[in-house]
Each structure stands twice: as C-alpha cells, then as structure tokens.
Structure 1
Amino acid sequence: MNISIFSVTENGRQLSQRVAEMLRGEHFVSRYCFHKHTDDDSAVFWNMGSMVGRLFQRSDAFIFICACGIAVRAIAPYLGTKADDPAVIVMDDHGKFTIPVLSGHIGGANCLAEVIAEAVGGTAVITTATDVGGKFSPDSFAVANDLIITDLKAAKEIAAAVVDDEKIGFSSDYPHSSLPDELTAFGICRTGVYVGHDMSAKPFEVTLRLVPKNIVLGIGCKKGTSEDSIEKAVSDALGRYDLDITMISEVCTIDIKKDEEGLCSFCQKYSIPMRTFTAEELMNVKGNFESSDFVLETTGADNVCERSAVLGSGGKLMIHKTASDGVTVAAAEKPIYLDFERKIL
C-alpha cells in the first residue's frame, strides 16, 4: 500500500515516526508534518487540504494524527465512491485511539487500524456493524481473496442481512475453507454469494457475484506491434469467452519482449504486471501446445502465448492460441483457494 501520514502537533510528529517505522517493512509510507513541527524525514505542509488533494489519487491510505474534524474537512472535497476511495484513519496524538473513518472494508482501513493500535498500545475503534458483531463481511472477504465486487448494492444488502441474522447462501466454483456461521451451502436462501466467472449465474434472489482476478494472459507479438493492436487482440479473445480485462492478474511473455513498447504500454494502461520467461523455461512446460516452426526459429520457443500463460498461472488453458494482426493471445486460470480467515493486510 501507498500510505500518507499527516500530523499537526509535536506529539503527532513523534507518533507519526513510530507508525511509519512500523509500517515501512510492508508498505511505502510518506510523512507530512505541519510546518511548525517537522523533521528531516517528512515533507512540510502549510495547508492540509491542498496537500491531501495532490496526494489523493495516488494514496491507498491516509492516516491523520489530529482531530477527526480536521481530517474530515481535508478529505471531503475529494471523496468519490465506496469502491474507489482510499482508506482513511484518524488517531489522536497520544495514540490512545485509532479510528477508521472511511473504506473500512474495501480499502482495508479496519484491519490497518487494528494493526496500528496494537503496535502503539492503543485501541482501535471499529464502528462497522459486521465487525462489531464479529460477523462475515462480504466486502472484506472479497478484497482479502482478490475478488472483484460486481454489485455494491447487492453487497450492501447482504451485509445488512448478516447483521439481521438472516442466513446467507454461498456458491463457489473454487475450493474454500470452512464457511462462517452466517453462510450456508445448503437450503434455499433469499440472499447469497456466488464466486466464479459465470456472469449469468444467479443462484439466489439477491446474488452478489464475486469474480476472481486470477486469469493470466500469455501474449506473443511481432516486433513493433502497437498498443492498439495488442489491446484489440486481447479484447477479442476475452470477448469470445465473456471475460473482462478486470479479471486479468498478470501478462506473461518471452523475455525478448520485455521492452516491447506496445506490450509494455498496454500493461501500463491497465495496471497489469508483466512477467517474462526464457525460451528454455517455456519449452520445459508440459502440455499440448500449438507448435510453430517460424516462432521456434525466431524466439527459441515453438509457442509463446500458450506456454507463458500456463507457466505463469500454474493452471490450465482456458483460451487456446488466438491470432490477430501479428498478436497471439492465450489465457490460463490460476488455481485459487478461498480463505474466510484471510485478512486484507
């Protein structure tokens, strides 16, 4: 996570140092101190609202060590939707209380607040109903297991049903740990959660579809292929199987394409990490792949897209080699295991 910490007082500055030191092992942390109380490890601000505005789009979480009202006024002009807003946490400058005020589930503010409070010897003040009651939260479960929430309205209705002690159905195309008490895989339920790639699935009257982000693309292309050509080839391949670009977890290819401008630009556009393999690594992948003598002579591997998709995913092909305008695309599904005890951070 990219975390921005703001402090106003001298006590706050010292506390921000402690919090930053604790978090930096796992996260990228930046400190911002009011100009009257600063140090060499922090940036200086005179107007908190302006500084927050500059950082809002690139920060995953904000930690404000100040009065709650100051923090709320600083972030208010920049708030968007529940799905997009960063986690926001407020602490008093003695570290007694750590309060998640925004994006407790999807952004991970609740979990982050608990981690911080334990580290500084304070108390995390959690106010979300499911957490207070120790109950299943569809938002937290989805984020912790890298699942895409397709319908925030359905997620909200299911969370409300959990709080009202209504039994929630659960259907999954993937193996999982033991279900929490609020969920059941048997019987007829009004509301329920479905995990899988079938966007037409509706096993419950109110169905929250949680879609795994576990598809690995294998891409091969000619030298100088444009970003637009790669994007079109990927879109066409995914479209045939009713899959969406948001389901892609990674793009894999051969190492001689690591600096291919069009491919790199495509990955950057959609914020998809790219991983490369040597020809030898690709040729060692077991399976039945469409072989090309030309590709073998050119790259050292007889098939780039299918082999790299399988190697990168550790799973099986779900889209075999498709070719379009000098681009080859294949996709494989990475095996996943759903864990109801997994935390966001």
Structure 2
Amino acid sequence: MKRFVIIALTAGGAKTARQLQEHLREQSYHTEVVLPQRLAQGKENYYPKGEFTATMHRLFKQYDCVICIMATGIVVRSLAAVIVDKTVDPAVIVMDEQANSVISLLSGHVGGANQWTRLIARLTGANPVITTATDTEKVQSLDILAKRVNGWYPNFKENTKKINRLLAEGNKVELYIEPYLRHYVEQFDGFEVLTEINEHQDEVPLVIVSDHSGFAKNKDAIHIIPRVNVLGIGCRKNVTNEMMQQTFAEFCAKHQLLWESIVKIASIDIKKNEPAIQYLAQVFNIQAEFYSAHELQHASINYPESAFVLKTVGVGNVACAAADYASGERNATERYANHEVTIALSRLHEI
C-alpha cells in the first residue's frame, strides 16, 4: 500500500491538511498528517520548533508521496539536499492553504505525482498544475506506458527522454503491444499502434510491449518487458536445483517467454521449504507465494487432475491451480512437465 504524508506550516494549512487526509483515507490511501508542535491536536504527529528541514528530509525518505501545504519555494529549498533521481525519489506535491491549486512538483511520472495531483484536484476542487510535456500535450509517455504493465526497459533515462520528446513534439512513434496486454493500458495517445509487428516502417522509432523474445533486432526499437506473469510450480520432493532450472529453461524456450516477465512464483504450502523452488525464486529475484490445498481447490477444477497428486497433497493439480489462484486468471499456457517438475503460467488479472 502506498504511504502518503501531508505536512503543513500554518493554522490554515493544518485545517486543509486534515480535510485532505480525510478525503484520501476515504479513497483507501494510508495517509498521515505532520504539523508544527504548536498546531498538533490529540495524537497527531508533530515536529518541534527548529526541526522543519530535518522532518522534511525524513518524510522524503519514508513515504511514497509527500504533500506539502506551503509555498513552493520553501519545499524546493528544504528538499534540495536529498533529491537523488526520479527513479527513486518519492512523489512531491505542493498545495496552497486554500486548496486553490495543487502542483505536481517532483517525480511526476515514475513517482506518481501527476496521477495523485489529478486525484487530489478531483477530491478538493483544486486546480491541478502539471507541467510535464507529455501531459500538457495530452500524449501517453513511455515511462507511464511501462508503469501500466509493471514493465522494464533498458537505458531508462536515455530512452524515456528520447521517446517522450518525440511524442511531445508530435513526431511519429510506432507501438506494438501484445493484444492480451492491452487491457492494462488506459490509452495510447500519441503512438501509432500497430496491429502486427511486420507493419513497422524502417527508421521510425518503435516501442514493443511483449513478454516474448524472438523479435528481429532493430536499432530503432525499445522493448518493454511487462512483469505480469505468475509461474505455478509443482514438483516431486527434493528435486534438484538443476532439474528445476532445466525445466524452467525448457518452458521459456517453448513459449519464447522472457524470464524477466515473471513477477511471482506460486505453489502449494507443503512445498514452501522445497529447496529447488526457493532456489529458482532467489536466482531470478522473484517473489514466491504458497497456498493451502483448500485455497487451491476451486481453481483446480478448471484443469486436468491427477489422482496421485490429489491423494498426496490434497488437490488434483498444483502448477495450474497455483498460477490461476495467485493471478486471478485462467492459465495462459498448457501445463508443462519434465524432470519431475510441472509448470504453468497465468497473467495477473490487474496490476
């Protein structure tokens, strides 16, 4: 869950902060208010006199979004020493005491400041101030497109700057996105969306959104790898790491699947301490989750069941059911079995 904090300086700002906190909590955002000690009421968080800058630095490092109800200049001067990079800095938003305007100041795209500025404007009636070029030109940006699919692409800063500049200036940028990924993205404004990859025109910048390999090398292409896939795994007891890795490699090769697209591994809880599953999760830095047979039973009926597996673990299949249950979607691949390991894949219902 994203963590918001609102900090104010004056009595008027404190009143607005409390109102905004209530609005954001109604939207299920974890939101705290931090005020000068003289203005804090009850159990409200406060900072002592003379500790404002130190408090701003602490909040900047601890929260996902810092909302400052004060002058923009104060915010800029107080945070100058701790700003690092838009890929790691939190969103910073500025409001005036009367909630007339709300400004996306820092980490507009990657940090979410633009998105949350619009939300706050809608909740309070404030005028949203967003100066990011792709937003003012009402085109989709490369980094937001990637964020919609929880994606990764190489040379983040260089490629983001290049593509967003082209989009903001109205230049042609082509986009190929796998049909099954389109529901994650709200809009493609600014891009020329291709139905097939072979529609690509030479020398035109191309963005590819796909969890597959096999695309022809293209110096003008940027490949966004969406991290949306859940890998369901079942295996015999004490299979070796080599057997697990070999099966996984064969599965990826069969489906031309990019391993970077795997966001989660899922299995049954009696396999929680299975060394080979933990090994695969650690090697590829993938989260592993485990579920009880009871939790998997409903998903299991959607796939072929094994009497032996049912007798052994209490559910008729593991890989298919685990991928289904953990993702909220039916399997996108058939069950693959080799080396005493079974694998199936589903894509997240939502990100």
- 1:311-322 to 2 correspondence within 5 Å? 311-312=325-326, 313-317=329-333, 320-321=336-337
In structure 2, C-alpha distance between the alignment counterparts of 1:331 and 1:150, rounded to whole Å:
28
Higher relative contact order (CA 8 A, sep 6+): 1
Distance 1:207 1:79, change over 3 A: farther
Q: Which moved more, 1:34-43 or 1:3-12?
A: 34-43
Encode CA deviations 1:186-225: one digit per residue, 9 max, x unaligned.
Answer: 45152121000235636753322222222112245789x9
- 1:151-190 to 2 correspondence within 5 Å? 151-152=155-156, 153-175=158-180, 176=182, 179-185=188-194, 186=199, 188=201, 190=204
Which residue of 2 is the match for residue 305 of structure 1?
319
Amino acid at match of 1:15: T
Q: Which moved more, 1:76-85 or 1:197-206?
A: 197-206
Question: Which of 215, 226, 237 is equivalent to 1:201?
Answer: 215
Instruction: Kindly state the Cα deviation for residue 127 of structure 1 after the two structures are TM-superposed.
Output: 0.6
Which residue of 2 is the match for residue 340 of structure 1?
none
Q: Which moved more, 1:238-247 or 1:204-213?
A: 238-247
Amino acid at match of 1:160: R
- 1:129-140 to 2 correspondence within 5 Å? 129-140=133-144
In structure 2, C-alpha distance between the alignment counterparts of 1:190 and 1:19, rounded to whole Å:
45
Distance 1:321 1:215, change over 3 A: farther
Distance 1:334 1:90, change over 3 A: same
In structure 2, C-alpha distance between the alignment counterparts of 1:40 and 1:202, rounded to whole Å:
63
Instruction: Kindly state the Cα deviation for residue 93 of structure 1 after the two structures are TM-superposed.
Output: 1.9
Instruction: Kindly state the Cα deviation for residue 33 of structure 1 after the two structures are TM-superposed.
Output: 1.1
Q: What TM-score comes out, normalization by structure 1 length? A: 0.78
Which residue of 2 is the match for residue 90 of structure 1?
94
Q: Match of 1:118, SS?
A: helix
Q: Percent identity?
A: 24
Instruction: Kindly state the Cα deviation for residue 132 of structure 1 after the two structures are TM-superposed.
Output: 0.9
Aligned Cα root-mean-square deviation (Å):
3.7
Instruction: Kindly state the Cα deviation for residue 254 of structure 1 after the two structures are TM-superposed.
Output: 2.5
Instruction: Kindly state the Cα deviation for residue 103 of structure 1 after the two structures are TM-superposed.
Output: 1.4
Q: Match of 1:198, SS?
A: coil
Gaps of 5+ in 1: 338-343
In structure 1, C-alpha distance between the alignment counterparts of 2:53 and 2:339, rounded to whole Å:
50
Instruction: Kindly state the Cα deviation for residue 282 of structure 1 after the two structures are TM-superposed.
Output: 5.2
Instruction: Kindly state the Cα deviation for residue 184 of structure 1 after the two structures are TM-superposed.
Output: 3.7
Which residue of 1 is the match for residue 343 of structure 2?
330
In structure 2, C-alpha distance between the alignment counterparts of 1:139 and 1:221, rounded to whole Å:
38
Which residue of 2 is the match for residue 341 of structure 1?
none
Q: Match of 1:197, SS?
A: coil
Amino acid at match of 1:6: I
Aligned positions, number: 325
Instruction: Kindly state the Cα deviation for residue 90 of structure 1 after the two structures are TM-superposed.
Output: 1.2
Question: Which of 109, 112, 117 is equivalent to 1:108?
Answer: 112
